[in-house]
Structure 1
Amino acid sequence: MNDLDLFSDSDPHGDRGYARGPDPRRGRRAGRQRQRRRRRSGSAAFLFAMAFLVAVVGTGGVLGVAWVDQRLHPPDYEGQGSGAVTVQIKDGDSGSTIAATLLSHEVVKSTRAFVSVYGKNPKAAGIQPGFYQMRKRMSSSSAMALLLDPKARAGNQIIIPEGLRAVQVAQQLSKKTGIPVREFQRVITRPTGLGLPPYAKGKIEGYLWPGQYNLNPNASAREILKSMVDRFNQFAQQSDLAGRAQRAKLQPGTVITMASLIQAESGRPDDMPKISRVIYNRLRHKPVPMFLKFDSTTLYGLNKYGIVASNEDIKSKNRYNTYNYGGLPPGAISNPGEKAIDAVIEPEEGDWLFFVATDPKNRITEYAADEQEFNRLRQKLNQYLAQNGGN
């Protein structure tokens, strides 16, 4: 038996079965079946693709229409709203900024709706900074009308003039807000958490920035005083107070102390650089420095007010008595403004050693370079006081 004989029993047809090959009719039938399956699969894929395309286009169309509708008709509340909420509009706020503020307080439903109303109202630019008593869930047009209504503004606008002492600031703030003076005084005594600069050395005097304020009707005494210190810090940063003081070979705290003296002693802004020069000339006098002998500092230390310190006043031992202590007082005696601070940095040239407010009513101050001229000016002031009263 050879190797070929091993396969003889496995194929009953022998060599003839292999010689015939596949049936051609069976192949044609299989081909037609494969074509029908491909056509059915292609049709199903086409139908699925069309269904998906319709779904996508349909959804996109709905979203597109919704997007256009939102652009043309942004979400907005209806009516006058209800409840109460205090909203602050700051100086320089744009329409979009105001809209964002109103949205954050739930006054309006969308910024776009309010901006649309804002842009169509020619009076919109007339909205004043301040605190407004608004309502929640107002229509944008109602919110705009309220912002343009002066009655909606909280009546807590106040102007704090330059040169007031901290206790005087407290009195004015109390009168405006109804908060008891003692609450302001408590903060003045312990001014923690107000953000005072390090060179203030924990004292608030000198760092309550004068100017116009729109007081939050819901704020506490501490929050109000902190807003004034914040304004000082803002000025100090913007004006580079520390850098200017360094170039003048002064500490920032020294600048504020000197500025407070200048503010308290000057009658007019034009006097400030001259009074600044008097301070420098007295403190740098040769062969020995001169005492300042300022009535304003002496009276401050005694918690008194007036133009001239009495003989009894100048004998006092308080550290602010510049008749008895050389150099500057230990801190500011008032809250100075920008011009007084500038005068410290840029004093006017001159050899004056004295100045006298010879006509306080008309804010006239005169200057002298020697003691003889000073005595003449002092006599002039005494005559004024004799005729007009006061000290």
Structure 2
Amino acid sequence: MIDELDLAFDEHAERGRPRHRRGGRGGKKSSGKSGVAFLMAFVLLAVLGGGVFFGYNKVKGFFTAADYDGPGTGTVQVTIEKNATLTDIGNTLVDADVVKSTKAFVNAANENPRGKNIQSGTYNMRKQMSAKNAVDMLLDPKNRVTAGITIPEGKTAKQTYELLAKATNIPVKDFETAAKNPEDLGVPGFWFNRRDDQQARKSVEGFLFPDTYEFDPKLTAKQILQVMVKRFVTVATELGFVDGVQNNLSVSPFEGLIVASLSQAEAGVPKDLPKVARVAYNRAYKANMPLEFDVTANYWLDLNGKSAKHSGELTAQELDDPKNPYNTKSKRGLPAGPINSPGKSALEAAMKPASGNYVYFVAIDRDGNSAFTEDYGQHQKNIQTACKNGVPLC
């Protein structure tokens, strides 16, 4: 269009028409051409202005996050995973058509003073709601469908099923059925190998990692146990547990897991975990002595529906039951398998036990502190100290 304007003015000059504002015979004709030129210039400016306006709107749209308006409609459940970032949460909400864009959600969360306090769990939300309303709903505990369930360290699989059943309303029997084949739950098969020539008792015991979980209410018993097993595998991998026990202690990961569970059950305070692990390894592999851990007798009682007892209350038959595959009173070596779910500290202790020739230990006070020694005479003195301090074992 600029070329057309140039031609219009060039033609005017070539014909020798003076470019003046008034007078002359050609004034009317010149005025007409000038009017055409003015109109064309106006159109050009309009087009250019429209382009600028259109471009501005496109750029503005590029920098403005797409968002829905209002409180939304209907109901939809979304699950926020543990340790999810705001971007992760936004992606989850977009997938469920709760918000229109992840960017709009992240912006709204950052603008809210409590926006980074969104907890994991399952929430009742609405579809196609504004990002601001979505943030507000996630921060309102009334919209949270599930609460966290904590599985403490040292719980047996049986005790874990009972806790899970209470929290999820799924029958204990469903968990027991789901746990029959631990490899179906994600336990790698190599975990059931042993180097001590003993038969591994295949069970999910020891692999249900103790932690706080947020379970989607739609999960089955099997899926819940799979989540817990996956958590165990993740933690063991992060610790380097498998290579650690194999390369540094010359035992299989399964044997290391057994020691971790024994330490978890026997140590009264966390600082004693590595020393209890050392006693277990020394007795099982160096001193060729039975472990004589009372906790294995109690584990067998629990499996058979009986209550655990203090050490001094266990009968000789309970301590040395020949039918008990976890008997450590007269049988040498480690028991058939783990006796509970050890936590991270217990796994670390089994991977890096304390140094020393300890083969004896006893809890010497009501706080759970233990005394460790390699000398039997000193061990007897430690037992007397425990009795004086009111520890129920005498």
The TM-score with structure 2 as length reference comes to 0.76
Which amino acid letter does the alignment assign opposite residue 253 of structure 1? F
What residue is the counterpart of 1:109 in the other structure? 100
Q: Aligned in 2, Cα 1:109/1:390: closer, same or farther, shift over 3 Å?
A: farther
Q: Aligned in 2, Cα 1:59/1:95: closer, same or farther, shift over 3 Å?
A: farther
What residue is the counterpart of 1:194 in the other structure? 185
SS at match of 2:185: coil
1:275 counterpart = 2:276? yes
How many Å separate the matches in 2 of 1:266 and 1:179? 33
How many Å separate the matches in 1 of 2:310 and 2:296? 11
For 1:116-265, list aligned pairs within 5 A. 116-201=107-192, 202-248=202-248, 249-265=250-266
SS at match of 1:131: strand
Which amino acid letter does the alignment assign opposite residue 312 of structure 1? Q
How many Å separate the matches in 1 of 2:149 and 2:393? 29
Q: 1:184 Cα deviation (Å)?
A: 1.5
What residue is the counterpart of 2:379 in the other structure? 374
Q: Aligned in 2, Cα 1:113/1:346: closer, same or farther, shift over 3 Å?
A: closer
Q: 1:262 Cα deviation (Å)?
A: 0.6
How many Å separate the matches in 2 of 1:142 and 1:290? 66
CA displacement, residues 328-348 of structure 1 (integer Å, 9 cap, x when unaligned): 011101111121122122222
Task: Give aligned-pair identity as a percent.
Answer: 37
SS at match of 1:109: coil
What residue is the counterpart of 1:293 in the other structure? 292
How many Å separate the matches in 2 of 1:98 and 1:155? 17
Any gaps of 5 or more consecutive residues in structure 2? 1-43, 193-201
How many Å separate the matches in 1 of 2:84 and 2:274? 36
Q: Is the 8 A contact 2:156 2:340 kept in 1?
A: yes
What residue is the counterpart of 2:359 in the other structure? 353
The TM-score with structure 1 as length reference comes to 0.77
Q: 1:61 Cα deviation (Å)?
A: 6.5
What residue is the counterpart of 1:7 in the other structure? none
Correspondence for 2:309 among 298, 301, 306: 306
SS at match of 1:253: helix
How many Å separate the matches in 2 of 1:251 and 1:284? 13
SS at match of 2:310: coil
CA displacement, residues 102-148 of structure 1 (integer Å, 9 cap, x when unaligned): 00111112223223322322321222233322222212111010112
How many Å separate the matches in 2 of 1:190 and 1:284? 30
How many Å separate the matches in 2 of 1:314 and 1:330? 16
Task: Name whichever of 253-262 and 299-308 sits farther off.
Answer: 299-308
Q: Is the 8 A contact 1:281 1:352 kept in 2?
A: yes
Any gaps of 5 or more consecutive residues in structure 1? 1-52
For 1:25-64, list aligned pairs within 5 A. 64=55
How many Å separate the matches in 2 of 1:190 and 1:236? 20
How many Å separate the matches in 1 of 2:50 and 2:280? 80
SS at match of 1:189: coil
Correspondence for 2:343 among 337, 340, 343: 337
How many Å separate the matches in 2 of 1:383 and 1:328? 32
Q: Greater CA radius of gyration, 1 or 2?
A: 1
How many Å separate the matches in 1 of 2:320 and 2:354? 32
Which amino acid letter does the alignment assign opposite residue 182 of structure 1? K
Q: Is the 8 A contact 1:108 1:136 kept in 2?
A: yes
Correspondence for 2:369 among 364, 367, 375: 364
Q: Is the 8 A contact 2:239 2:348 kept in 1?
A: no
SS at match of 2:79: strand
Q: 1:374 Cα deviation (Å)?
A: 3.0
Q: Is the 8 A contact 1:156 1:216 kept in 2?
A: no
Q: Is the 8 A contact 2:274 2:353 kept in 1?
A: yes
Q: Is the 8 A contact 1:86 1:134 kept in 2?
A: yes
CA displacement, residues 169-213 of structure 1 (integer Å, 9 cap, x when unaligned): 111111122222221122223335211122333421111111221
What residue is the counterpart of 1:89 in the other structure? 80
Q: Aligned in 2, Cα 1:190/1:83: closer, same or farther, shift over 3 Å?
A: farther
Which amino acid letter does the alignment assign opposite residue 307 of structure 1? H
How many Å separate the matches in 2 of 1:226 and 1:58? 62
Which amino acid letter does the alignment assign opposite residue 325 of structure 2? R
SS at match of 2:257: helix
What residue is the counterpart of 1:44 in the other structure? none
Which amino acid letter does the alignment assign opposite residue 108 of structure 1? V
How many Å separate the matches in 1 of 2:51 and 2:245? 65
Q: Is the 8 A contact 1:156 1:177 kept in 2?
A: no
Q: Aligned in 2, Cα 1:69/1:321: closer, same or farther, shift over 3 Å?
A: same
Q: How many residues align?
A: 333
Q: Aligned in 2, Cα 1:383/1:167: closer, same or farther, shift over 3 Å?
A: farther
How many Å separate the matches in 1 of 2:147 and 2:393? 34
How many Å separate the matches in 2 of 1:282 and 1:193? 34
